[in-house]
């Protein structure tokens, strides 16, 4: 697109001296490719204007900024708000893809990824070709999971707009977009037109960035304010403040919620409950662990119903949900084997606490701690949590890198010994440790394989081995003696 056309679509005046062809826009000088417009953003750590020379060296054909003194060999466009300009340029370059998609935005402190994945699955399984952008990666309508080069929940506006374009071109009619408070505050989603906005909950997090809870709430509420339809958690006091939205529904356990769950039963194979809703009263099965997932499922169902799914489609979709790769992923029921990426003491604690109530037999955990310079102080606390909250803990390798594995295992055992329990041992080889746990577990036991989750490598000394935790677990289940 010619720069003059781009500028005219944005209501900015053209530059008579040159009219280059523009192929992309970016705020990061190191990502500039020939033909790109570089937008200099005054950031929290540094000022993008300092990197204009680097952007020019890399082939930028125009510069956008809030104030630059000096001569430039390419057109310079002065704007009041560089982050707005970044998003606006990206929307125009990609042809405003969100206008042709039904976009579902999901925000909240917890449950964004899970709710996003369930919503995507419900839409897909009802035949609505959909895309998904979440912390875990993005999925195209063919179901393939791709990973972002950056590890952000919601990437920057040029990446969002080009992904929405990619999804539209791949035939998507709907897109589920996990929308972080950082993205809302930093205008990464400016120009995205949301059909539905879901608010899961709000508890203290990221207060260094947002200042206080009110600032955090005000950032999150932007999603709801700009969505045509809102899906709000009736059980959450912050979400309840948004019920003045002119077109909304609510979900929760409380009696006032329009979409509510009753008769909840948590079994080894998952959650069974009855949904009472404006669409009707019906039973559902969700193959997930953790009662908070009932709320995530209710939000996803309320959204999918608003977008036209019938009760049988909701029931069928929920029952066939396979979880998020490596996040409390349920692989079998007897014994119940779960793969989860929990690799810090608090996340391991939470995972074991979630599994305990629905474990009728023993609770096993296989867990390691990374080597190299990766947080050596967490090794003993991980051992302590594993021993305190499980019945049988097996300590093993987890990317030990150049640290001798025995050193890591001794630290984990030292932490475990502080509980006074005798319920732990170490098996250095991860494959053997997984086999041992799965082979020894009784049919009513739960085995949590923690720490690796969806990672695809295992780093051992100077070697990087290919690794697939789910495949390892399935292999061990396949060689288990029938019980």
Ligand X SMILES: Nc1ncnc2c1ncn2[C@@H]1O[C@H](COP(=O)(O)OP(=O)(O)OP(=O)(O)O)[C@@H](O)[C@H]1O
- The residues of the shown chain that bind ligand X, judged by CB under 6 A, are 110-114, 135, 153, 200-201, 292, 295-296, 350
Measured distance CA(472)–CA(254) in Å, rounded: 41
Q: Which residues are annotated as a binding site?
A: 29, 108-114, 153-154, 180, 188
Q: State the nearest-atom distance from the C-beta of 185 to ligand UAG, in Å.
A: 8
Closer of 113 and 125 to ligand UAG (Cβ)? 113
Which residue from 43, 127, 211, 346 is in contact with ligand UAG, where contact means CB under 6 A? 43
Which residue from 79, 183, 301, 370 is in contact with ligand UAG, where contact means CB under 6 A? 183
Interaction mask 139-178, ligand UAG, x per CB under 6 A: -------------xxx-x----------------------
Measured distance CA(115)–CA(128) in Å, rounded: 17
DSSP 8-class letter at 482: P
Contacts of 178 by beta carbon, 8 Å cutoff, 6+ apart = 105, 106, 107, 112, 113, 116, 133, 134, 135, 153, 154
Closer of 167 and 289 to ligand X (Cβ)? 289
Q: State the nearest-atom distance from the C-beta of 438 to ligand UAG, in Å.
A: 32
**Binding of residue 48 to ligand UAG (CB under 6 A):** yes
Interaction mask 205-244, ligand UAG, x per CB under 6 A: ----x-----------------------------------
* CA–CA distances in Å: residue 428 to residues 147, 165, 231, 363, 464: 30, 47, 47, 20, 16
Structure tokens at 244: 């003045």
Estimate to the nearest angstrom the gap between the alpha carbon of 73 and the chain centroid.
42
Measured distance CA(471)–CA(125) in Å, rounded: 25
Cβ-contact 93, 24 below 8 angstroms: yes
Touching ligand UAG, residues 2-41 (CB under 6 A): 27-30, 41
Closer of 51 and 424 to ligand UAG (Cβ)? 51
Size of the site for ligand UAG (CB under 6 A): 20
Contacts of 435 by beta carbon, 8 Å cutoff, 6+ apart = 475, 476, 479
Report the helix count and the strand count for the chain, using DSSP H and E: 16, 23
Q: State the nearest-atom distance from the C-beta of 243 to ligand UAG, in Å.
A: 24
From the list ligand UAG, ligand X, none, pick the one residue 477 interacts with, judged by a Cβ distance below 5 to 8 Å according to partner type: none
**Residue, CB closest to ligand UAG:** 43
Structure tokens at 482: 């029938």
List residues near ligand UAG by CB under 6 A. Answer: 27-30, 41, 43-46, 48, 51, 152-154, 156, 180, 182-183, 186, 209
């Amino acid at each position: 697109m010619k720069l003059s056309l781009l500028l005219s679509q944005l209501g900015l005046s053209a530059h008579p001296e040159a009219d280059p062809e523009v192929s992309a826009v970016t705020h990061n000088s190191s990502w500039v490719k020939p033909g790109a417009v570089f937008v200099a953003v005054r950031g929290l750590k540094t000022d993008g204007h300092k990197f204009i020379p680097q952007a020019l060296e890399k082939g930028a054909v125009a510069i956008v900024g809030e104030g630059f003194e000096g001569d430039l060999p390419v057109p310079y466009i002065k704007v009041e708000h560089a982050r707005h300009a970044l998003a606006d340029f990206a929307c125009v370059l990609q042809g405003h893809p969100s206008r042709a998609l039904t976009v579902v935005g999901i925000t909240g402190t917890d449950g964004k990824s899970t709710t996003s994945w369930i919503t995507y699955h419900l839409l897909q399984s009802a035949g609505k070709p959909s895309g998904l952008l979440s912390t875990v990666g993005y999925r195209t309508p063919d179901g393939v999971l791709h990973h972002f080069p950056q590890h952000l929940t919601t990437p920057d506006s040029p990446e969002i707009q080009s992904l929405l374009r990619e999804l539209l071109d791949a035939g998507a009619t709907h897109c589920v977009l996990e929308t972080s408070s950082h993205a809302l505050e930093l205008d990464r989603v400016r120009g995205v037109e949301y059909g539905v906005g879901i608010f899961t909950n709000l508890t203290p997090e990221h207060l260094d960035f947002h200042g206080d809870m009110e600032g955090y709430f005000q950032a999150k509420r932007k999603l709801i304010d700009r969505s045509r339809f809102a899906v709000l958690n009736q059980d959450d006091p912050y979400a309840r403040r948004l019920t003045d939205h002119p077109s909304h529904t609510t979900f929760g356990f409380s009696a006032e919620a329009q979409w509510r769950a009753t008769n909840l039963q948590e079994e080894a194979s998952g959650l069974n409950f009855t949904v009472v809703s404006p669409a009707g009263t019906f039973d559902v099965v969700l193959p997930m662990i953790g009662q908070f997932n009932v709320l995530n499922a209710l939000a996803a169902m309320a959204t999918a119903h608003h977008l036209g799914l019938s009760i049988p489609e909701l029931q069928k979709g929920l029952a066939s949900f396979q979880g998020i790769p490596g996040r409390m992923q349920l692989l079998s029921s007897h014994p119940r084997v779960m793969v989860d990426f929990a690799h810090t003491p608090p996340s391991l604690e939470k995972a074991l606490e979630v599994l305990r109530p629905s474990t009728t037999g023993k609770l096993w955990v296989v867990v390691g701690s990374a080597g190299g310079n990766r947080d050596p102080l967490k090794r003993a606390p991980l051992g302590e949590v594993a021993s305190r909250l499980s019945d049988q803990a097996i300590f093993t390798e987890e990317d030990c890198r150049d640290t001798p594995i025995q050193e890591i295992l001794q630290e984990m055992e030292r932490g475990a010994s502080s509980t006074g329990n005798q319920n732990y041992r170490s098996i250095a080889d991860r494959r053997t440790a997984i086999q041992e746990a799965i082979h020894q577990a009784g049919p009513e036991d739960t085995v949590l394989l923690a720490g690796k989750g969806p990672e695809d490598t295992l780093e051992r000394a100077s070697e990087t081995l290919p690794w697939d935790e789910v495949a390892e677990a399935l292999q061990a289940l396949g060689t288990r003696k029938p019980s």
